[in-house]
Each structure stands twice: as structure tokens, then as C-alpha cells.
Amino acid sequence: MNRFDRITAILIQLQSRKIVKAQDLADRFEISLRTVYRDMNTLAEAGVPIIGEAGIG
């Protein structure tokens, strides 16, 4: 899966559930936690409102 497709899929996951954990995304897409955080940063820079709390999601 290329990066654009993965980021789009992450966005869909974020829209479909109230709480999404980074580890769940990493497991689902078989990527590292660091890559999840980079992808989330990309979404935030694109204007997607992302709110997160340590230990919650």
C-alpha cells in the first residue's frame, strides 16, 4: 500500500470511530508507530482536526 492510500485509509478510520489508538493503526497497516505519527502529522498539516491524548488515543 502506498503512502497516499494508507493516509486516506487512516482518515477513514478516524472518521468512523470516536477513539482510534496509534498501535491499532500500526497493527492494521503493518507499519511502525513512528510512521503512524508521521501520517497523523501529515493529516494535521492538511487541515484535518486531530485531537489526541497520551494513553487514550
What is this structure's pTM?
0.86
User: What's residue 45's pLDDT?
Assistant: 96
How far apart are the C-alpha atoms of 49 and 44, rounded to whole Å? 6
Domain ranges of the chain: 3-45
How far apart are the C-alpha atoms of 30 and 45, rounded to whole Å? 23
pLDDT digit of tens for each residue in the chain (57 aa)? 899 999 999 999 999 998 999 999 999 999 999 999 999 999 999 999 998 888 787
Q: Comparing C-alpha atoms, which of 48, 55, 49 is closest to residue 21?
A: 55
